[in-house]
Amino acid sequence: MLFRQIVLYALLIGAATGLLLTAVQFWQVFPIIQSAEHFEDELASLHAHSGHGHEHGAHEHDHEHGDGVQRTGLTLLSNMMIGAGFAMLMLSVMVASRRNQTAAGFDWRHGLLWGAAGYAVFFLAPALGQPPEIPGAAAASLEGRQLWWLFTVVCTAAGLAGVAFLRSPWRWVALGLLAVPHLVGAPEAPTAMFAEYPPAMAAELEVLARQFFSATAIANAIQWLVLGLASAWALRRILTNSEANL
């Protein structure tokens, strides 16, 4: 019964946060991506006219960027699914850590704290070493980036959990785990981020990259804080139902 409620509320929260995140991305993130793709197209055109070819057929970029409706729809679906997964994880951990706490013990402040923790674990800590990248930016291998992201998430989650839930005076030592992934260092790209581009274009792309980081940071902060608040609300309802059935 408890698992069923967690799944149902997670799906509801995922749909709501997915819609919200996609709306924020539509206004703040998508325009930056489209601008970066425009520079990709310009670079492909330069290569084609200079005879370099690059065997990308002028990159065929009018192509795979996809139309706006398709992109928005796929992003919305992805955001809903990811939101539901994160909500299920958050609700499960909140239930496991409640220490016999009643429904009245959870309020919006708990939701904000849990949301901020999720933001720190899944976005902020990884982004400090491996910022979100715009199209056209040089990057390290996908496998290396994924492994470092996972390593950072695990270390950050373990460090914050140690401080929050351990009762030993030594629990603050767990904060040292937050620094471990950054001491190891994220995988580095083989070249400068926009080494392929002419200097003027590279300068504009660097500005776009900074804007992209800020926009994604804001979008993810909104998502996680709303997710935390919604999870606290859902947990109150779950605990209320459980207490009523006792």
Position 55 scores a pLDDT of: 45
43 falls within a domain: yes
58: confidence class by pLDDT, cuts 50, 70, 90: very low
Please determine, for residue 206, whether its predicted confidence score (pLDDT) is greater than 60.
Answer: yes
pLDDT tens figures, 74-130 = 999 999 999 999 999 999 998 888 766 666 667 889 899 999 999 999 999 999 999
| Domain assignment of residue 31, yes or no | yes
Q: Which domain holds residue 24?
A: 2-139+189-244
How does residue 43 score in pLDDT terms, banded at 50, 70 and 90?
Answer: confident
* pLDDT score for 244: 63
Asked whether residue 160 is domain-assigned, the answer is no
21 within domain boundaries = yes
Q: How many domains does the chain have?
A: 1
Residue 79 inside a domain? The answer is yes
Domain-embedded: residue 194? yes
HEC letters along the chain: CHHHHHHHHHHHHHHHHHHHHHHHHHHHCHHHHHHHHHHHHHHHHHHHHHCCCCCCCHHHHHHHCCCHHHHHHHHHHHHHHHHHHHHHHHHHHHHHCCCCCCHHHCCHHHHHHHHHHHHHHHHHHHHHHCCCCCCCCCCCCHHHHHHHHHHHHHHHHHHHHHHHHCCCHHHHHHHHHHCHHHHHCCCCCCCCCCCCCCHHHHHHHHHHHHHHHHHHHHHHHHHHHHHHHHHHHHHHHHHHHHHHCC
- Is 196 domain-assigned? yes
Whole-model pTM? 0.87
Q: Quick count: other Cβ atoms within 10 Å of Cβ 188? A: 11
Q: What percent of the chain lies above the pLDDT cut of 70?
A: 87
39 inside domain: yes
Q: Say what the pLDDT of residue 63 is.
A: 44
Condensed to tens digits (0 to 9), the pLDDT of residues 115-171 reads 999 999 999 999 999 999 999 898 899 999 999 999 999 999 999 999 988 888 888
